[in-house]
Amino acid sequence: MATPASDPDAIRPRSPKGVETRARLVDAAKKVFEDDGFLDARISDIAERASLSHGAFYHYFESKDEVFREVAEIMDDRLSAPLDSVVLDPSSGAPPEQRIREALTHHLESYRAEARIMGVIEQVSRYDVQVNAMRFERHQQHTKRIADSIRQMQRHGLVDKNLKPQIAAAILGGMTQRFAEMWLVQGYVQCSMKDAVEQLTCIFVGAFGIGNTMGRPARPERARR
């Protein structure tokens, strides 16, 4: 049996072939974790799924835990992508409500497509200190960026000035993450994608105090005297 490498930097691939082989292992690991869960997944199964030798695994990863953390990081990047591509896109001239709706649509569709592995990641993060710490750090980064965006919108008079940006960002982010898990992983909520997006958008818009949107009837104008 190959001995796991001790220096993480030494096992990072530098050649295109090495990068491709590592990616194959990560993709194979994702599929094995989806099928078997984290605890029952075996390194030999990951190597076999990637069509590589058992020893080849240790050329790129020290352990099953390490490759799982990489899978979790990739999923986090995929699900949080709309934060940059939609919500915080500096070239977009779309109003806040439209950005929120589009970002939520992308996020929930990605979560639905990756529901099996997300169920495993959510489960493992509840007892694995390192996975939990990694996800918490990334959550804090996303929360800070959303909070900064709220402050910017407050300066332009686009959202409720009474909101405390850091707290509001943490609440809304946590709510969205937990709702996606309850709906798409645990099956506790029964609804369509359209309804999920519209209801979450309505909650975000209401929380931000963005104004008369979401199809609500406008207030009648006062009659001129």
Query: What averages of pLDDT result for each successive group of 10 residues across the chain (225 residues)?
Result: 41 75 96 97 97 92 95 94 87 88 95 97 94 92 92 89 94 94 96 97 92 43 42
3-class DSSP state of 212: coil
Query: Which residue ranges make up each domain of the chain?
Result: 8-62, 65-208
- Whether domain 65-208 has CATH 1.10.357.10: yes
Return the exposure string of 179-189: e unless at least 16 CB atoms fall within 10 Å of the residue's CB, then b: bbbebbbeeee
Q: Are 72 and 18 in contact (CB under 8 A)?
A: no
Fold of 8-62: Arc Repressor Mutant, subunit A (1.10.10)
Gap between the Cα atoms of 59 and 1, Å rounded = 12
Radius of gyration of the chain, Cα coordinates, nearest whole angstrom: 22
Full-model pTM = 0.83
**pLDDT attached to residue 14:** 63
CA distance 221 to 67: 61
Determine the pLDDT at residue 156: 86
C-beta of residue 154 within 8 angstroms of C-beta of residue 164: no
